[in-house]
Structure 1
Amino acid sequence: MSDQPPIEIAGRPIGPGYRPFVICELSGNHNGDLGRALAMIDAAAATGCDAIKIQTYTADTITMDVDRPEFRIHGGLWDGRSLHELYQEAQTPYDWHPALFERARARGVILFSSPFDETAVDLLASLEAPAYKIASFEAIDLPLIAYAARHGKPLIISTGMANLAEIEAARDTALAAGAGGVILLHCVSSYPASFADANLRTIPDMAARFDCPIGLSDHTPGTAAAVAAVALGACVIEKHFTLARSDGGPDAAFSLEPMEFQALVSDARSAWESLGQAQYDLLGSERANAQFRRSIYVAADVKAGAVIAASDVRSIRPGLGLAPQHRDTVVGRVAARDLKRGEPMSWDMLKEI
């Protein structure tokens, strides 16, 4: 286990020695309805997640309304749509933010956001956001990272598409600018991501390379990859959330519904708890069953003074007799007294050689 100090977000410690920090990403699945966004916070809080995350941008702060091919998406879930059109639909309006933060506080759950420009950072700072999330596509925007980091809060940085040098630059920039710690999330920036591309073994490799907590921003279907990531050392799990996939929404296809997210939270915590530590001693919970291990028992009546034959003893359950490893030593010895079928074998039942 790493001896690195934990990073705290709103008083919640995050690191290898603590249960995974599970983030419920609302993204644009509010479908442009503030009432739905508030209902999503209620439903997300009820799953038992540790935090809820939103995204803070407008279509004009993240892109431009330009009719050029490079401003249009080709292939995948959003094929044919312009960036401006997509972000216009998915944006969480700035004037919603106070109500969303207030609802999260009322539900007792941490809320923070991904800022996509300096105006977004300023808004989130005014709302006392306890952390900032840098999205994968912005991981190379070092000025944005530095601007967010100057507020002294922890930064969570997704690393999808970033190479090792870019990841190191993002982390170093955040720390140099005063971030209250950095958490790196392994991420595959395809929507949805396939299991074949998940490459979860990157998580322990990142943990060995970077002196900070490592997690997973997961876009694969279901919960299997996220739970497996915990077993590989992920300290943070981020997963998209929706009230119902059938309601649609920009990210609905790769989002979890409330009952699914609740299962993710439970399974991630159980996976972490089950890791424990390497040990080979008898556990207290095993002690009552130790008596049912195999041992040597008398299998046929043997008269005192008779030589014990192989057929006179057996290695069976329960475990109150001599250990099975002594069977060859017992066979050929002389019975010190009458032995009755069903007795556990002990050394005092044998004559000294």
Structure 2
Amino acid sequence: MKIQLTDNKEIYNYCKPYIIAEIGSNHNGDIELAKAMIDEAIKCGCDCVKFQSWDTNSLISEPEYKANTTYADSKKKHFGSLREMVEKYYLRKDQHYELRDYCIKKGIDFNSTPFSNEEVDLLNDLNVPFYKIASMDINNIPLLKYIAKFNKPIVLSTGMASLGEIENAINTIEKENNFKIILLHCISIYPPLNEQINLNNILMLQNTFTYPVGFSDHSIGFSIPLASIALGACIIEKHFTIDKNLPGWDHEISADPTEMEIIVKESKNISESLGSFKRIISEDEEEKKKKFRRSIILKNNLQKGHIITEEDLVFKRPGTGFIPNEAQYIIGKKLRKNLASEHILKKEDFD
């Protein structure tokens, strides 16, 4: 199945992957830092920058705030309480518009993940080309139904979800007559162990459902997302930062510009190199045959009238004469002229 994700990008398994730089909340509430990250994502060649749309009321409950009044995790440079971090890091409504306009000006797709109906409406007003649903909301049936009614493509992350939950989410969206679904294989661990990633789930999802499948990656580095492309991943979503040492939730597990540039460049190379399921010999390889394959060549000097035997023949480069497989048709033939050793046999050598 093919899904028109944006005006310029059609998505299907094994297509050139659409690369999403997941800035999320890595802007740390700083609009200028957000713009700097957009600029770097553009330099890396990303197709899209994506943020997250939530505020102090739309995602976290009061009991959860009260349970997280301090952070002891200095490695991620957390500060204060959960409420204080959310208050500092959430993207304000006017900042959405400012960043959307900045992306339009710079020529890169803008998007964000909504966490409430109000944020879905905001993104609709911003005319995002598709909706991205976070793994945590794959079982949030009311939100799925609300988003599906806009009839835009839906990119659905599957982290933490059973196969039954994935199927139920798909059925929910389809019941709203929206069949523009793209699944993302995802492991919601930051970062996951290699043995937890299970990239073969990409193939499993392709075989289980009719929709294209991409990969939302939380691993360190670039090898895992690149490997997913060889399995047909049509979208690569990768957390992005300009500095892994910045304070915040996700900088440490994010790709920096050097890593993201490798992902973008090599994803194109891998996608192009996958080619066809048909066995094709290119014109360049056909020419290579002439130099690298072997021909039937005489081992010794032979006289006119000699009847060719197996002992008269050797096989050497170049491949411009009879091929070795044709020796059975050469044996028993009579020479029509004297021939020297190392001669490459031709049709005109025989009666």
Question: TM-score of the superposition, structure 1-length normalised?
Answer: 0.89
Does the CA-based 8 Å contact 1:113-1:131 persist in structure 2?
A: no
CA contact (8 A) 1:40 1:242 kept: yes
Asked whether the 8 Å contact 2:47–2:109 carries over to 1, the reply is: yes
Relative contact order higher in (CA < 8 Å, ≥ 6 apart): 2
What CA distance in whole angstroms lies between the structure 2 residues aligned with 1:313 and 1:70?
84
In the TM superposition, residue 156 of structure 1 has moved relative to its aligned partner by 0.7
* Residue identity matched to 2:38: I
**Which residue of the partner structure matches residue 176 of structure 2?**
177
Residue pair 1:76, 1:191 contacting (<8 A) in 2 also: no
Shift of 1:209: 1.3
2:29 maps to 1:32:
yes
Q: Please state whether the residue corresponding to 1:137 is helix, strand or coil.
A: helix
In structure 2, the CA distance between the partners of 1:115 and 1:285, relative to structure 1 (3 Å rule), is: same
Q: Secondary structure at the match of 1:239?
A: strand
C-alpha deviation, 1:9, in angstroms: 2.1
Closer, same or farther: CA 103–163 of 1 in aligned 2, 3 Å? same
Q: Distance in 2 between matches of 1:217 and 1:294?
A: 49
Structure 1 counterpart of 2:326, which letter?
H
Letter in 1 for 2:284: S
List per-residue Cα deviations over 1:204-253 (Å, max 9, x = no partner): 11111111111100111222221221111111111111112133432111
Give the whole-Å Cα distance in 1 for the aligned partners of 2:230 and 2:44: 21
Deviation at residue 112 of structure 1 after TM alignment: 1.0
- State the partner residue of 2:156: 157
Between the aligned partners of 1:173 and 1:263, the Cα distance in structure 2 is 37
For the residue of structure 2 that corresponds to 1:61, the secondary structure is coil
Aligned to 2:191: 192
The percent identity for this pair of structures is 32
1:61 aligns with 2:64: no
Measured after TM superposition, the shift of residue 342 of structure 1 is 3.0
Q: Shift in Å at residue 254 of structure 1?
A: 1.4
Cα shift at 1:334:
4.1
Could you tell me which residue of structure 2 aligns to residue 271 of structure 1? 270
Aligned residues: 348
CA contact (8 A) 2:78 2:247 kept: no
Q: Distance in 2 between matches of 1:318 and 1:167?
A: 58
Aligned to 1:142: 141
Matches within 5 A, 1:52-131: 52-66=49-63, 69=67, 83-131=82-130
Counterpart for residue 219 of structure 2 = 220
Asked if the contact 1:65/1:84 (under 8 Å) is kept, the reply is no
Q: Deviations over 1:106-150 (max 9, x none)?
A: 111111110011121121112112211110111111111111222
| 3-state SS, counterpart of residue 258 of structure 2 | helix
The 3 A distance-change label for structure 1 pair 280 and 61 is: closer
Distance 1:117 1:266 in 2: 35
Per-residue deviation, 1:24: 0.9
Aligned residues of 2:54 and 2:115 also touching (Cα < 8 A): yes
The 8 Å contact of residues 240 and 251 in structure 1, kept in 2 or not, is answered as yes
In the other structure, the counterpart of 2:203 is 204
Q: Distance in 2 between matches of 1:208 and 1:249?
A: 38
Determine the structure 1 residue equivalent to 2:317: 317
Q: 1:57, 1:94 within 8 Å by CA — same for their partners in 2?
A: no
Counterpart in 1 of 2:336?
336
1:84 to 1:315, Cα distance in 2 relative to 1, 3 A: farther
Task: Judge conservation of contact 2:130–2:152 (CA < 8 Å) in 1.
Answer: yes
Tell me, in whole angstroms, the C-alpha distance in 1 between the residues paired with 2:53 and 2:127.
14
User: What displacement does 1:315 show?
Assistant: 0.9
Do the aligned partners of 1:59 and 1:87 also contact (CA within 8 Å) in 2?
yes
Normalising by structure 2, we get a TM-score of 0.90
Give distance in 2, aligned partners of 1:159 and 1:301: 73
Tell me if the contact between 1:19 and 1:235 (Cα under 8 Å) persists in the aligned partners: yes
| Per-residue deviation, 1:312 | 3.8
SS in 1 for 2:236: strand
2:2–2:212 CA contact under 8 A, matched in 1: no
Deviates more, 1:266-275 or 1:64-73: 64-73
Aligned-residue CA RMSD (Å): 2.7
